[in-house]
Structure 1
């Protein structure tokens, strides 16, 4: 099987060595043992280099898209670029057995339609609520982003009609179910069985007031709600510290918010920390993982933290409430609600029995949801869709 996978990621080439900087790629890369070749479709950096996540093993290739920093830059491109992409996709797709396309995304739609025209099976992957994600922007940019998001969402649903669809979380599964009777809820996981055994020998930190938040520094990640919760906890006589791992466009804005609230010393920015020993060390110093996002697919960091025995406190968005149970495997709160988040953190800090239950049951949940289990669900769906087309 020659499986093509569209992901909106940047790839780097150093000679023949292909790599990328987003850990999500490790999940589809794990398919390599079960297919002849994986063709990743993504942006090729104009500069040669090496990123933290190499694609090794000889079964990977890249169908390179024009480089763009973000979707706004893409939309401002010469319209002829899209025609060139469609033309190249029609040639490339003749050799593909199936296409997995993460969306909505304008280039993903072009490639999907090229495959449909050639009779190549297309399987959409919906990782999160795209309209909700775009609504996190502000000002004029927000209006433009929402308008574009609604058009793209409408078009992606047309592509998904009568096809096998993979969604992250019950929310998007319910949205796409009327379009297809073959909607599968899945959770892309980077923790394989071997890594789970390594993680299971680790443990969370002993200080429940030391929290960690691992994500991109972007509006939809809801940092400001966590900061407001810290202020409220201070007023309740409970002082917590947050280690923030990640980079993004709003770092200076977040630092300004902390200064205005007077809690700068309660937050440490660690910048980008690659998946590996340095990140695991931060996990083991923390008492809990806190995610305050307003929209999500399913954050990989949850898989990692649960495997280590690091309890999770998160907002009830995206695929999170489909996988985690409040009070059993995590503490879940409504998005954009600092008071609810503060109360959950306070309950966690003051209740040792609750902390132990979350550690044990979270780790038990991950034992049955490793990379292999989730990978097999995707590949089974791909094989069934190919067989359906042949029939």
Structure 2
């Protein structure tokens, strides 16, 4: 079976080796050994190089799309780019048995319609609530982003009719269940069995006041609410420290905000930290993981935290509340609720028996949701969609 995956990622070439900088690629790449060939449909970097996540081997190939930095630049791109995309897809899709499209995405939906016209089965994967994600933007950019998001999601739902859909989280699964009768709740866990065993040998730090947050420095990640919660905790005499791992356009703005709120000395901006021992060392120093996002799909760092036994405080967005149980596998709070976030952090810091329960239950939950389990679910849906179309 030859599976094509549309992923809105940039790929680098170094000789015959493909690589990318986004960890999600590890999930579709894990299909190697269960299918004959995997073609990724994505942007090719304008210069040779190697990114952190390497796809080495004859199983993988790239249907290269013209490079564009991001979706905002895509709207202003040369119209001839779409013709080049169609030509590339038309040539390579002759060999595809099925297309899995991660969306909503304008190029992905163009590719999907081309495949449908050729009789190629199409499976949809909804990784996040796009409208919620775009609502985090500000100013005039927000209005344009929201309009585009509504149009794309409306079109993606049209594509979903009478097709198999894997949606991250119960909320998005219910939304797409109105348009098809094969919508599945999906958690794209990247922690495989070997990694789970490795993480299980690690342990959280001894100081619960030392927090860690791993994500992009972007508006929808809700750093502001965490800083405000830390300022509230200071007033109660509870001083926490957060290791902030990630890069993004808000770096300087967040530094200034931390200073304004009086928590600058309690925040360490680590920037980009490579996956592996440098990141794991920070995990083992931390007493808890905190995620204060206003929108999410399902963050991979939660899977890593649960596997390590790192108590987690998270917001009830995306797939998080349908995977985690408040008080049992994590502490969950509403998004944008500073008081609730501060209260959850204080509760976790002051209750060692609660932290131990979260550690124990989190690891047990992960045992039943490692990569191999989720891969089997998606592969089953892909095979069923192919068989149904052939019938």
Q: Taking structure 2 as the reference length, what is the TM-score of the superposition?
A: 0.99
Structure 1 segment 270-309 matched on structure 2, within 5 A: 270-309=270-309
Q: Is the 8 A contact 1:23 1:275 kept in 2?
A: no
Corresponding residue of 1:42: 42
* Distance in 2 between residues matched to 1:302 and 1:370, nearest whole Å: 12
Matched residue, 2:328:
328
Deviations 1:304-349 (A, max 9, x none): 1100000110000000011100000000000011110000000000
Give distance in 2, aligned partners of 1:64 and 1:251. Answer: 32
Cα distance between partner residues in 1 of 2:271 and 2:347:
29
Tell me the SS of whatever aligns to 1:42: strand
Secondary structure of 2:31's counterpart equals helix
For 2:78 and 2:245, the matched residues in 1 are separated by 37
* C-alpha displacement of 1:289: 0.5
**2:360 aligns to what?**
360
Aligned mates of 1:298, 1:20 — CA distance in 2: 20
Aligned equivalents of 2:75 and 2:259: distance in 1? 36
Task: List per-residue Cα deviations over 1:325-381 (Å, max 9, x = no partner).
Answer: 000000000001111000000000001110000000000100111110001101010
Give the whole-Å Cα distance in 2 for the aligned partners of 1:126 and 1:360. 30
Distance 2:97 2:380 in 1: 14
**2:23 alignment counterpart:** 23
How far apart are 1:82 and its partner, in Å?
Answer: 1.5
- Which residue of 1 is the match for residue 96 of structure 2? 96
Structure 1: tracts of 5 or more residues without a match = none
Residue 4 of structure 1 corresponds to 4
Find out whether 1:310 has 2:310 as its counterpart.
yes
Gaps of 5+ in 2: none
Where does 1:165-244 land on structure 2 (aligned, <5 Å)? 165-244=165-244
**Contact residue 309 and residue 363 of structure 1 kept, 8 A:** yes
Q: Find the residue that maps to 1:298 and give its secondary structure.
A: coil
Give the alignment's Cα RMSD to 1 decimal: 0.8
Corresponding residue for 2:72?
Answer: 72
Cα separation, 1, equivalents of 2:383 and 2:15: 33
Deviation at 1:278, TM superposition (A): 1.0
For residues 375 and 339 of structure 1, the distance between their equivalents in structure 2, rounded to whole angstroms, comes to 38
Contact 1:12 1:20 in 2 (8 A): yes
Q: Determine the structure 2 residue equivalent to 1:139.
A: 139
Q: State the Cα deviation string for residues 286-312 of structure 1 (Å, max 9, x = none).
A: 011000000000000000110000011
Give 1:170 shift: 0.3
Displacement of 1:88 after TM fit? Answer: 2.5
Moved over 3 A (4+): none
Pair 1:156 & 2:161 matched:
no
Deviation at 1:80, TM superposition (A): 2.2
Following superposition, the deviation at residue 90 of structure 1 comes to: 2.4
Which deviates further from its counterpart, 79-88 or 367-376? 79-88
Q: Distance in 2 between matches of 1:390 and 1:273?
A: 46
Output the CA distance in 2 between the equivalents of 1:80 and 1:49: 26
Distance 1:263 1:349 in 2: 18
**In structure 1, C-alpha distance between the alignment counterparts of 2:387 and 2:175, rounded to whole Å:** 26
- Whether the 8 Å CA contact 2:66–2:84 is kept in 1: the answer is no
* 1:186 to partner: Cα distance: 1.0
Offset of residue 261 of structure 1 = 1.1
Per-residue Cα deviation, 1:192-245 (whole angstroms, up to 9, x for no partner): 111111111110000000000000111000000000000011011100000011
**Contact 1:85 / 1:110 at 8 angstroms: preserved in 2?**
no
**Normalization by structure 1: what TM-score?**
0.99
SS of 1:51's partner is: coil
The whole-number CA distance in structure 1 between the counterparts of 2:325 and 2:272 is 30
8 Å CA contact retained: 1:213, 1:245:
yes
SS at match of 1:293: coil
Please list, as runs of the form range in 1=range in 2, the aligned pairs for 1:94-133 lying within 5 A after superposition: 94-133=94-133
Contact 1:246/1:270 (<8 A) preserved = yes
**Alpha-carbon shift at residue 281 of structure 1 (Å):** 0.9
Is the CA contact 1:135–1:142 (under 8 Å) kept in the aligned structure 2?
Answer: yes
Say which SS state the counterpart of residue 8 (structure 2) adopts.
strand
Q: Distance between the aligned counterparts of 1:338 and 1:69, measured in 2?
A: 34
How far is the alpha carbon of 1:273 from its aligned partner? 1.3
